[in-house]
Amino acid sequence: MATIEEALELERLERDIFRGAFPKTQLPRTFGGQVAGQALVSAVRTVEPRFQVHSLHGYFLRPGNPGAPTVYMVDRIRDGRSFCTRRVTGVQDGDAIFTMSASFHIGDEGPSHQDEMAEVAPPEDLPDAETSMDPERLWAMREWEHWDIRPVPQEQVTRRAGVVSPQQVWFRYRHPLPDDPLFHVCTLAYMSDMTLLGSSKVTHPDEPTQNASLDHAMWFLRPFRTDDWLLYDQTSPSAGFGRALTGGKIFDRGGRLVAAVVQEGLIRTLRR
């Protein structure tokens, strides 16, 4: 399947209009992480290099056709001294399938603190999907063969009082990536949609449901590399009425909190 460079590839059609690649996939609809990642790349290409993206907020409006390109139209909402704001709309066949706001910041000095990373088994102690016999992991491996994704077994997941649906996943891109920090941010935006909604199924593993991402928000807190190990510490604090709220903190191997994610997803009982 496609490399991350191929998945995030864009063609500039106009000053603020881009067309995304549509690599081969086995998915029935366009992967949400690909749409979010390409939208963010579109926004990045309209901002001066001194600005770094610090947050994004997106809504998945319609299922995307994986066999057709998505066109991204960027609105330059604001260009300030410290912050820039962009709004991106992804369009297929005349309909908006995704909309996103992204904010950029030059970086300032100020107080610093963060939550601690949970104590979990290191990724080297967990099986690689390449050696797994689990059908679901092998299917995901075919789709995302360039990613090394290692879920922490539920019996080893860190348990915290009051957290009903925890999930922890180590991940990294298998191959060296460019040093450009913004490329790693866009790569993380792509990956962040990959396992998060699964945290809502931890307490309902055998209940058949229809699942889809509805919205997605991210905050990029510290520099990181996606070709190094990152821990995605996920929870689903609530599910009901056919929707589930999920969230995740992403730590690097050294325990630095590098990003935070919140997503609401469709998780309704599967209809006949």
Which residues are tagged catalytic?
Answer: 193, 213, 263
Kindly state the tokens that stand for 90: 């992804």
Query: Which segments of the chain are extended strands (E)?
Result: 10-14, 17-20, 52-60, 71-79, 83-92, 95-105, 147-151, 166-173, 209-220, 230-240, 243-252, 257-269
Burial class (CB in 10 A: 0-12, 13-18, 19+), 158: middle
Contact 245, 216 (CB under 8 A): no
What residues are paired with 90 via a beta bridge?
72, 98
Report which residue type is found at 186: C
What residues are paired with 151 via a beta bridge?
169
Q: What angle do CA 254, 256, 262 make, to 5 degrees?
A: 130
Contact 246, 200 (CB under 8 A): yes
Say which residue the tokens 């990959």 belong to: 194
